[in-house]
Structure 1
Amino acid sequence: MSSSASTNDVGAPRISRGRAAFIVVAGLTVAGALLGVLWAWLAPPVHGVVALTRSGDRVHAYLGGEADHFFTSAFMLVGLLVVLAVVAAVAVWQWSAHRGPVLAAALTAGCALATAAAAGVGAVLAHWRFGSLDIAGAPVTPEHRVYYVVEAASVFFGHSSLQIAGTLLFPAAMAAMVYALIAVSTVRDDLGGWPPQETWLPTPPLRADVAGPSGPERLSQ
């Protein structure tokens, strides 16, 4: 014998699953662009110097620990996007009618696009705010051999394709992991989504020590 789990009382969705996936992807992309604006405002600039050597060569160096700002700014962007990914995973799960692999894929793709949008918007605004470093155009002369410059912070930890891909995929992986952890903790096979499906649970076996007396014992009584 078996018994059914609690009834899934979720109502039919008003919009299709495909449209719901599009809304998730578009919303995350817009949120990523807004995070790019926030990052460009928070990211620290990198101060350096361009100097003219005695041999006439131009050299570029960073002041003190200013070079650490490249790592700090990239870590800041990834941190903002991971927070967005975790919040988005929990929020998308609350859309109970569309729970399932379609929205999980939309969440993952949306977080990847949000990272790309944040990096693009942030890099453009940071370079607009601080300008681009031009070592060849620095106004250094034999009379004024030192010129101080300010450089925009970096959105990636490096310029290699592997480092860029890792930055783009890390928030998406975090969102997928959070969504999966919530899904595996759900007792229903349909995840409480639409259409509802009955989940049948096996009846526990009858224990011998709680069984009633046998037939001959009853007759003897």
Structure 2
Amino acid sequence: MSEVAPPRISRGRAAITVVAALTLTGALIGALWAWLAPPVHGVVALTKSGERVRAHLGTEADNFFVASFLVVGMLCVMAVVAAVLVWQWRAHRGPMMVAALALGGAAAAGAATGVGAALVHWRYGSIDVAAAPISAEHRVHYVTEAPPVFFGHSPLLVAVTILFPAAIAALVYALTAVAIARDDLGAWPPIERDELDPTAKAGSALPSGQ
């Protein structure tokens, strides 16, 4: 394996670059998700008793899951690709890049969900059941609801959506590191095998014939 050239920037700056790039990518993913995610169609209806009720048409309620799964899937694809690309930055391989991938993955998920939620809300608006234009003559009003970015509103589900891509990116990078034979991962500065094995250096110092 050929030796790696000295890096042009510090490892800290490289880590900041990774985090910033992932955050920007997450924002772009959020915008793409807002365009692709299926909305939820439903109705606001007036019952015979005069009560306003809200219901979803057919299997439209499934889109609540589909939309949330889509954003997680897109973020996981980004995490795998990012881990592979960052591994190619050979001079900076190491624990700091794992930390940068984890932090960047979480930041990307936060950016994607934030941008996505804002865009779909702007696109579809919010549903006000009390203000729906229904009456005794027109008892049904069709509505379109913005798709959700999270599977639910509990802190645990939100945390899973934010942290899952970070875990995937760190895992892929770690598995790649395990597969390489060199203890220094081929990063800079390179470590010679004699430096890693003191017995080899001691053995080479013994006189011949001993």
Please, what TM-score do these two structures have when normalized by structure 1?
Answer: 0.86
SS of structure 1 residue aligned to 2:19: helix
SS of structure 1 residue aligned to 2:151: coil
Shift of 1:55: 2.0
Per-residue CA shift, 1:23-65, capped at 9, x if unaligned?
0000000000000111011011110000111222111000000
Per-residue CA shift, 1:43-98, capped at 9, x if unaligned?
11110000111222111000000000010011111111111000000000000111
Residue identity over aligned pairs, in percent, reads 65
The equivalences for 1:113-192 within 5 A come to 113-192=107-186
The equivalences for 1:77-88 within 5 A come to 77-88=71-82
Following superposition, which runs of at least 4 residues in structure 1 exceed 2 angstroms of deviation?
199-203
Q: In structure 2, what is the Cα distance between the partners aligned to 1:44 and 1:83?
A: 20
SS of structure 1 residue aligned to 2:53: strand
Listed as ranges, the gaps of 5+ residues in structure 1 are: 1-5, 204-221
Shift of 1:153: 0.5
Q: Which has the higher helix share?
A: 2
Shift of 1:145: 1.2
For residue 104 of structure 2, the aligned residue among 110, 114, 133 is: 110
SS of structure 2 residue aligned to 1:29: helix
SS of structure 1 residue aligned to 2:3: coil
Which of the two has higher C-alpha Rg? 1
Listed as ranges, the gaps of 5+ residues in structure 2 are: 201-210
Q: In structure 2, what is the Cα distance between the partners aligned to 1:175 and 1:133?
A: 37
User: Residue 12 of structure 1 aligns with which residue?
Assistant: 6
